[in-house]
Amino acid sequence: MKFNRNEKKMKNGFIYYFAGILLIMGYLIPWFLDNPVHIKELWYVGWIIWIIGLVLLFLPMYIFRSKGMVMKKNDWTKTTVLVDTGIYSIIRHPLYLGWSLMYFAIILWSQHWLTITIGITGVICVYLISRQEDQLLIKKFGNDYLDYMKKVPRMNFFSGIIQFIRRRKKKKS
């Protein structure tokens, strides 16, 4: 099935809106559930994950403005160069990883089947969004982005750290 540009934009936009609504629902539903937290340690881990996710959500705004050669009047996502330094040398989509971590935090806070379902659905949506983003960035940056994709994982932070260390060792050799 082929989509014209407007239909494709609507399809991509739907996943963003759906993921956003799921996140809001995930935050609101625990207020209405009569579900005491069963494992208190998971609740604390949820707060740590939430803080890390929050940093990953806002870090790209600063990095793109400073390294992406964004025109002053443009949206912070309108980079004119491929940013592959800092956190972007470890993972390609820190914002989407942060968004996914927000869902995991909600799951750990609530520990209820409904928030688990919402969280898993939300993470799947964010993963699909990141795949679509890769396709758009391939069109924007071409072979440079394809090479970048080979070096840096999409959202796997631990794999990204390992690959980053290997690249640094290789450069020093």
Domain limits for position 126: 46-53+93-167
Q: Which of 161, 104, 154 lies closest to 129 in space, CA to CA?
A: 154
* Helix then strand then coil, % of the chain, to nearest 5: 75, 0, 25
- Provide the token pair at 114: 């409904």
Going by C-alpha positions, the residue among 80, 30, 78 that lies closest to residue 50 is 30
Q: Is the pLDDT score of 3 beyond 50? A: no
Residue 104 domain flag: yes
**What's the rounded mean pLDDT across residues 93-108?**
95
Q: What angle do CA 82, 84, 89 make, to 5 degrees?
A: 160
Is 100 among the domain residues? yes
| Interval 30-54: pLDDT, tens | 888 777 767 889 999 999 999 999 9
How many domains, in total, are found in the chain?
1
Dist CA 124 CA 134 (whole Å): 15
Average pLDDT score over residue span 73-85: 79
Could you tell me the pTM of the whole model? Answer: 0.84
Signed CA dihedral, 155, 123, 99, 133: sign only:
positive
